[in-house]
Amino acid sequence: MGGAPSVTMRVAVVGGGWAGLSAAVTAVGLGHDVRLFESAAVLGGRARSVHAPALETDIDNGQHILLGAYTATLALMRDLGLDPARRFVRLPLSVRSADGTLDLRAPPGLPAPLHVAAGLLAARGLSWKEKLSALRAMTVLRRSGWKTPRGATVQEWLSLTLQPPRLRALLWAPLCIATLNTPVEQACAQLFAHVLRDSLGASRRGVSDMLIPRTTLSELWPARVEELARSGAFGQGPHGASSAAAALEIHRSTTIRRLRYTGTGPSMREETGGEGGLCAGMPAGAQRLVLDDRPEAYDAVLLCGNTPSTSRLLATLPAQPGGDAFLDDLRAFEHAPIATLTLELERSFVLPSPMLLLHEDRHRGHFGQWLFQGQDAGRRLLHVVVSDADALLQWERSSAVAGMVEQLREQLRGHAMPAVLQHALIVEKRATFLAVPDLRRPGNRTPWPGVWVAGDWTDTGYPAVLEGAVRSGRDAARAMHASFSGASLGS
């Protein structure tokens, strides 16, 4: 991380989700003086811990899984001095249903991508025709360089590759909903192909592993950023660059509502480069930015909220050529909810696998799609995940909870699930953007001088996932740095 900075800029990061934190850590690593502002009382954004009074403990706002392919997130954790091997349960790729009717596991010992092919061929619960169809679809995708027809939905791609209806219902639709939070009829085939490339189609075994956090999401690494910021460790030693002025200050419970330019010229302090206090790429007399009525001005602002928040803030700045089109693109994003039901059981209960597929039957209130073993020491927590959860929201909460508990009892029959003592149902209404085809996702640059954007919704090539957020934040900070210092962007 880092590299010798030519100047120290004063940088504001708005938003303390994974994109904002990644941007802040990257910017301070590049030698800048960074302030991060977060509306909420806790960092993490859509991947954060919350207190659940009924359970008398902290839980996540939703179960999150990562993939071995999430290299930027794992690298960031290592840079922060954290060991991913200790912080995640690492599971070889598998799709096993709670009722045992589907069991697809990559056998040990075989190299990728043969391990997935062998797993598919040996899978329990699929006919030979279905297995060969799935393999054919993966082969076609791989040969095409993971490209799907332009503008196609997942449904159209499944038809094009002649996937049988039962295979769609058993395998493809649950995978699509789980990874894109968008039903197959609407979901973008190209983004789904990217997900398949990193999972079923991975070219190295570890890349397709599923990583389940052992700690709450806030403890996973955001807490470490706060700890380092508080102790002033950024800017010194392995976490920071060579600039003594590099620092990160975090302001929680602070919502930024307005941006404006102030024309007082650049503030950067000359460090190892630059001419007369200016560096290459920085126009003389460039405007600086002020947030609300705060006294300080910033050389750069990185907006790391979701699309509604980012477009609202950009709209407070004076119009710029291309600005309206940029805002229109942001306003075109739609969002979908994810619900997570956490159950506290009377006694310890270990699932046959830490993650199990559930068969959904919305008419019966069986909304659950995936079931996760909680990471609590007593093994008494279970998490039921419902993506694309609009249908659940039409139900009265207690009936929906009762429906899902009944679903677990039915599908886990033979495993004697203990009585449920307490529960917490968390619904994130804007959990992710709807991953539809032809969505225009902007890059990190904006038409407004000095303003960059980051978030899982930018043009990362991923659906709305943690890795996309981390990459986006990192790349926004690098682009900001490069534009001021004339440095070339790293990979």
* Site map 167..186 versus ligand FAD, x via CB under 6 A: --------------------
- Give the residue, chosen from 2, 5, 20, 450, that forms a contact with ligand FAD under the rule CB under 6 A: 20
Report the nearest approach of ligand FAD to the CB of residue 270 (Å): 31
Residue pair 334/181 in contact (Cβ under 8 Å)? The answer is no
Cα three-residue angle 138-139-140, rounded to 5 degrees: 90
Residue pair 152/160 in contact (Cβ under 8 Å)? The answer is yes
The H or E element that residue 37 is part of is strand 33-37
Q: Is 117 or 291 the residue whose CB approaches ligand FAD more closely?
A: 291
The alpha carbon torsion through 262, 288, 315, 321 (nearest 10 deg) reads 100
DSSP labels, 365-422: TB---EEEE---TT--EEEEEESSTHHHHTS-HHHHHHHHHHHHHHHTTTS-PPPEEE
**What b-and-e string marks burial along 353-392, b requiring 16 or more CB atoms within 10 Å of the CB?**
bbbbbbbbeeeebbbbbbbbbbbeeeebbbbbbbbbbeeb
> In the chain, what are the helix, strand and coil shares in percent, each to the nearest 5?
35, 20, 45
Report the nearest approach of ligand FAD to the CB of residue 121 (Å): 28
Q: Does 188 bind ligand FAD (CB under 6 A)?
A: no
Q: Does 68 bind ligand FAD (CB under 6 A)?
A: no
Q: Is 62 or 240 the residue whose CB approaches ligand FAD more closely?
A: 62
- Give the residue, chosen from 31, 62, 266, 365, that forms a contact with ligand FAD under the rule CB under 6 A: 62
The H or E element that residue 314 is part of is helix 307-314
Q: Does 157 bind ligand FAD (CB under 6 A)?
A: no
Residue list 437-456, contact with ligand FAD (CB under 6 A): 455-456
What tokens appear for 339 in the block? 């619900």
- Give the residue, chosen from 17, 68, 240, 368, that forms a contact with ligand FAD under the rule CB under 6 A: 17
Stretch that binds ligand FAD, among 90-98, 111-119, 237-245, 461-469 (CB under 6 A): 461-469
Q: Does 288 bind ligand FAD (CB under 6 A)?
A: no
Q: Is 6 or 387 the residue whose CB approaches ligand FAD more closely?
A: 387
What is the three-class DSSP state of 262? strand
- Give the residue, chosen from 104, 382, 465, 480, that forms a contact with ligand FAD under the rule CB under 6 A: 465
Q: Does 466 bind ligand FAD (CB under 6 A)?
A: yes
Report the nearest approach of ligand FAD to the CB of residue 40 (Å): 5
Residue list 243-282, contact with ligand FAD (CB under 6 A): 255-256
Spatial CA neighbour of 225 closest among 119, 97, 80: 80
- Give the residue, chosen from 10, 11, 13, 15, that forms a contact with ligand FAD under the rule CB under 6 A: 15
**What b-and-e string marks burial along 185-196, b requiring 16 or more CB atoms within 10 Å of the CB?**
ebbbbbbbbbbb
* Site map 300..329 versus ligand FAD, x via CB under 6 A: ----xxx--x---x----------------
Number of residues this chain uses to bind ligand FAD (CB under 6 A): 37
- Give the residue, chosen from 28, 338, 345, 451, that forms a contact with ligand FAD under the rule CB under 6 A: 338
Report the nearest approach of ligand FAD to the CB of residue 114 (Å): 26
d(CA 180, CA 215): 24
Helix axes 18-29, 466-485, angle to 10 degrees: 30
Report the nearest approach of ligand FAD to the CB of residue 155 (Å): 22
d(CA 7, CA 4): 9
Report the nearest approach of ligand FAD to the CB of residue 462 (Å): 8
The alpha carbon torsion through 18, 19, 22, 26 (nearest 10 deg) reads -170
Binding site for ligand FAD (CB under 6 A): 14-20, 37-40, 45-47, 61-62, 64-66, 255-256, 304-306, 309, 313, 338, 340, 428, 431-432, 455-456, 464-466, 469
